[in-house]
């Protein structure tokens, strides 16, 4: 058995691709189905193409709610502070800042929680993250 991908439904594929691009994921392939009125877009972290996220865009859908019901996606990052800064600079809210130098949470444009985990040992607590409050839910 082999893990293939995790699918999430999205309401704005380009905004979602931009969000995952800020995380560092790249688009691998795309499939448009005119008859079914949907698009599938597969993303992965460079060098780890076997662990994919499938974005499903149903063309006639007007939005989704309850993204928290999904749970979350998790990605290991080289530098959690740099990853969070890149996301914040791109307009993404850091819902659970990496106060501990180890873990943070953000949300995709459709409310899917994404956990970021520091590769290896936790980094030493550092500002502005060490004193940053939680924002919303994750």
Note if 14 is an active site residue: no
The encoded tokens of residue 16 equal 């979602």
| Choice among 61, 78, 115, 127 that is catalytic | 115
Nearest alpha carbon to residue 19 among 70, 90, 85: 90
Residue 18, H or E segment: helix 13-23
CA separation for the pair 35, 13 (Å, rounded): 19
Closest CA to 95 of 107, 103, 81, 86: 107
Q: Which residues are catalytic?
A: 115
């Amino acid at each position: 058995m082999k893990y293939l991908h995790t699918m999430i439904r999205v309401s704005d594929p380009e905004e979602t691709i931009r969000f995952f691009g800020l995380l560092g994921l790249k688009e691998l392939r795309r499939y448009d189905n005119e008859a079914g009125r949907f698009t599938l877009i597969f993303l992965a972290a460079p060098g780890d193409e076997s662990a994919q996220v499938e974005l499903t865009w149903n063309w006639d859908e007007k939005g989704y709610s309850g993204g928290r019901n999904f749970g979350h996606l998790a990605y290991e990052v080289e530098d959690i502070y740099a990853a969070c800064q890149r996301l914040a600079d791109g307009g993404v809210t850091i819902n659970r800042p990496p106060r501990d130098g180890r873990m943070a949470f953000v949300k995709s444009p459709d409310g899917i929680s994404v956990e970021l985990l520091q590769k290896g040992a936790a980094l030493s607590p550092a500002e502005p993250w060490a004193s940053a409050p939680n924002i919303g839910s994750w």
